[in-house]
Structure 1
């Protein structure tokens, strides 16, 4: 089967919540085939100085189980975004608008779309609430 427009997006997808569902559904709506890079445990530690609550194999399985996600892989490095875009022949890079402007240089390789985050939900906030209760 050939796909008209491939969309790629990335995230940690830890403590999976409705905001993750919303952004992935909206990402899929931008094209015909959705590819999701799930941050490796090591990458997450490098970004946030903490490991995810759920290990990468579990986060991968959660994202893979969604009916609107077509392909999932482990993202090993933030610096490899261009390689991932090329490897999967992505036409569109979708990121949350909290990253607005940070991926504009990817316009050389594909269209870049920043989607609004779901208001009042954040994995970091959920983790803090759980830790403090």
Structure 2
């Protein structure tokens, strides 16, 4: 894991998510996030954090999710996000100029506008990990 960019003229974008059951919506938000800068850093929720946030374990382990995201050409750095309370520290550690999140989080990260730009992107319509998991569960019954 490389933290602060050694090329200060490059604009670093950071985003966070679980990225479980990787789908088109994940791809689109990463593409649009990457377009806001020169370097994209992605924080992947740890398995424990996902359990705390959503009350369930992810389908894919954090190691699998990190591997999937690390293989994406638009992603430069991937790290495991251990705590929601450390977002400010992660933004500073990676020298992020922009925090990008889905618009389902609109307003929730405005507190970081003192250290970086905060951008909320529209989600891809009609796609959600929860809906995919529920659909698969119904098909298995």
Task: Give the TM-score normalised by structure 2.
Answer: 0.93
Q: Which runs of 5+ in 2 are unaligned?
A: 1-5
Distance 1:4 1:34 in 2: 11
Matched, 1:14 2:23: no
**1:98 is matched with which residue?**
104
Q: What does 1:76-95 align with in structure 2 at a 5 Å threshold?
A: 76-95=82-101
Q: Report the alpha carbon displacement of residue 101 of structure 1 after superposing the two structures with TM.
A: 0.5
**2:3 is matched with which residue?**
none
Q: Report the alpha carbon displacement of residue 4 of structure 1 after superposing the two structures with TM.
A: 1.9
Q: Which runs of 5+ in 1 are unaligned?
A: none
Deviation sequence 1:91-131 (CA, Å, 0-9, x none): 00000000000001110110000000000000000000001
Of 83, 88, 109, which aligns to 2:115?
109
Distance 1:130 1:102 in 2: 31
CA RMSD of aligned residues (A): 0.8
**2:75 is matched with which residue?**
69
Distance 1:126 1:11 in 2: 16
SS in structure 2 at match of 1:126: helix
**2:130 is matched with which residue?**
124
Q: How many residues align?
A: 133
Q: Where has structure 1 moved over 6 Å in runs of 4 or more?
A: none
Distance 2:84 2:30 in 1: 19
Deviation sequence 1:6-40 (CA, Å, 0-9, x none): 00000000000000000000000000000000000
Distance 1:119 1:130 in 2: 19
